Amino acid sequence: MAYLFTSESVSEGHPDKVADQISDALIDNFMAFDPSSKVACETLVTTGQVVLAGEVKTNTYLDVQSIAREVIRKIGYTKSEYMFEANSCGILSAIHDQSADINQGVDRKNPEDQGAGDQGMMFGYATKETDNYMPLALDLAHSILQEMSAIRNNEPELIAYLRPDAKSQVTIEYSDDNQPQRIDTIVVSTQHDDFAEDEVMLAKIKSDVINIVIPRVKAKLTPELQALFNDQITYHINPTGKFVIGGPHGDTGLTGRKIIVDTYGGKGAHGGGAFSGKDPSKVDRSAAYATRHVAKNLVAAGVCDEILVQVSYAIGVAKPCGIYVNTYGTSKVNLTDGEIAKIVEKVFDMRPYFIEQRLKLRNPIYSETAAYGHMGRKNEVVTKTFKGPDGSTKQVEVELFTWEKLDYVDQVKAAFGL
């Protein structure tokens, strides 16, 4: 019997994502001026207020207020009527030194012996469902909001009333053999300027989403995925009605509160640890990227059509406690999932130091991850500019989303005899 599966996304203007982006902007600035920095930074945003808290071990100094304001400005909170505005919001910093008790478990005389920054389990997932090996429902939910953001920032005359805060949700019907059959429901809630009449507002927003945004999303898909769109889709566009009060004024935002949006939209599994605001010594972040890298390369190499990879750690210990694999019965090799896991352990060194080196994680690459998901994104080299507290600027060339590279496919094929 067919079944339904749903994933959601949120825009860069969602209050939790505002918090994530500020936290990751701080990470990037620490990494740009001191790549050895150890950082765990949390952000809270609410009406007219930003609170920064966390622990840092670094050799640099940052103007955290200026960094936070620039993030808020870039997102689009630039008008006083939003009740949260880049130039006027209050910013309180309660960032202090990292605990020496934690740091002693990470730093080692031999860098290769670097211990995990915390205990826990991390998961990576990949599927052949889309070209970027991501679950389809989440991929579409991200795409809808990314298209709306592009319109708001680049073509404001096209849909002039859009404000930064938005959410989306996509429900897909699958067949018994787990193949997507059609899109069942699309939900979009977008913050907007005030309208004189609510009925006119609702009709206009619904028409623009269905007739402008969705066709643009559809046009970027493969013909097979375009066929999932039909006239029977149920649309819920701003289903509560008016959505003028939004962003941090409508809801308090916190770093790390959108971990399913950040990963696989509910597919696979999640270990519970957030990513944003953490330097790569925190395996919550680095090992989640590493397991995605493993999963994607295994699917791309033809080992299986779908896979979940788990790795776990003890704080201060370099060697993982264990590696687990689940191919959901889609394996193309004559091996058990346990045997596949043993080979994975030989191909990919999952000790924290080697993850950092393999994926180039001691670079300022994190701001780009803080909205629209950390996985399934485009791997590319960019040049970023950072401003020091003394007014000087520094340009850094970095490679983004290294965990999305298919650079281990040949090694995987060789290891599995493919």
The answer as to whether 262 is a domain residue is no
- Looking at the fold, whether 208 and 162 belong to one and the same domain comes out as yes
Calculate the CA 266 to chain-centre distance: 13
Give residue 30's pLDDT.
Answer: 95
Give residue 389's pLDDT.
Answer: 79
Give residue 106's pLDDT.
Answer: 66
The answer as to whether 93 is a domain residue is no
For residue 325, the domain's CATH number is 3.30.300.10
- Looking at the fold, whether 227 and 292 belong to one and the same domain comes out as no
Residue finishing a domain among 200, 225, 246: 246
- Looking at the fold, whether 241 and 292 belong to one and the same domain comes out as no
Dist. CA 63–CA 44, nearest whole Å: 18
- Looking at the fold, whether 226 and 349 belong to one and the same domain comes out as no
* Residue numbering of the annotated binding site for Mg(2+): 16
- Looking at the fold, whether 388 and 304 belong to one and the same domain comes out as yes
- Looking at the fold, whether 219 and 337 belong to one and the same domain comes out as no
* Residue numbering of the annotated binding site for L-methionine: 55, 98, 251, 282
Give residue 141's pLDDT.
Answer: 98
* Residue numbering of the annotated binding site: 14, 16, 42, 55, 98, 165-167, 242-243, 251, 257-258, 274, 278, 282
Give residue 1's pLDDT.
Answer: 75
Q: What is the pTM of this model?
A: 0.96
**Structural domain that includes position 410:** 120-127+282-416
The answer as to whether 272 is a domain residue is no
List, for residues 383-405, the tens digit of each pLDDT value. 999 998 788 899 999 999 999 99
Number of domains in the chain: 2
Give residue 101's pLDDT.
Answer: 55
Across 322-350, b (16+ Cβ under 10 Å) vs e yields ebbbbbeeebebebebeebbebbbeebbb
Token output for 19: 């918090």
The answer as to whether 374 is a domain residue is yes
- Looking at the fold, whether 236 and 303 belong to one and the same domain comes out as no
Residue of 314, 326, 298 lying closest to 351 (CA atoms): 314
Strand partners, 325: 309
Specify whether the CB–CB gap between 344 and 408 falls below 8 A. no
* Residue numbering of the annotated binding site for K(+): 42
Give residue 390's pLDDT.
Answer: 81
Residue of 418, 245, 401, 243 lying closest to 343 (CA atoms): 418
Q: Which residues of the chain have pLDDT under 70?
A: 99-109
Residue of 220, 137, 152 lying closest to 186 (CA atoms): 137
List, for residues 288-324, the tens digit of each pLDDT value. 999 999 999 999 999 999 999 999 999 999 999 999 9
The answer as to whether 252 is a domain residue is no
**Cα–Cα distance list, 398 to 359, 364, 381 (Å):** 11, 7, 6
The answer as to whether 45 is a domain residue is no
- Looking at the fold, whether 410 and 288 belong to one and the same domain comes out as yes
- Looking at the fold, whether 237 and 289 belong to one and the same domain comes out as no
**Cα–Cα distance list, 75 to 23, 79, 283, 358, 371 (Å):** 14, 12, 28, 31, 10
Dist. CA 9–CA 373, nearest whole Å: 8
Residue finishing a domain among 246, 268, 295: 246
Give residue 115's pLDDT.
Answer: 81
* Residue numbering of the annotated binding site for ATP: 14, 165-167, 242-243, 251, 257-258, 274, 278
The answer as to whether 55 is a domain residue is no
- Looking at the fold, whether 210 and 297 belong to one and the same domain comes out as no
Dist. CA 73–CA 46, nearest whole Å: 15
Greatest Cα-to-Cα distance within the chain, rounded to the nearest angstrom: 67
- Looking at the fold, whether 217 and 299 belong to one and the same domain comes out as no
Residue finishing a domain among 246, 263, 292: 246
The answer as to whether 151 is a domain residue is yes
- Looking at the fold, whether 291 and 236 belong to one and the same domain comes out as no
Give residue 324's pLDDT.
Answer: 98
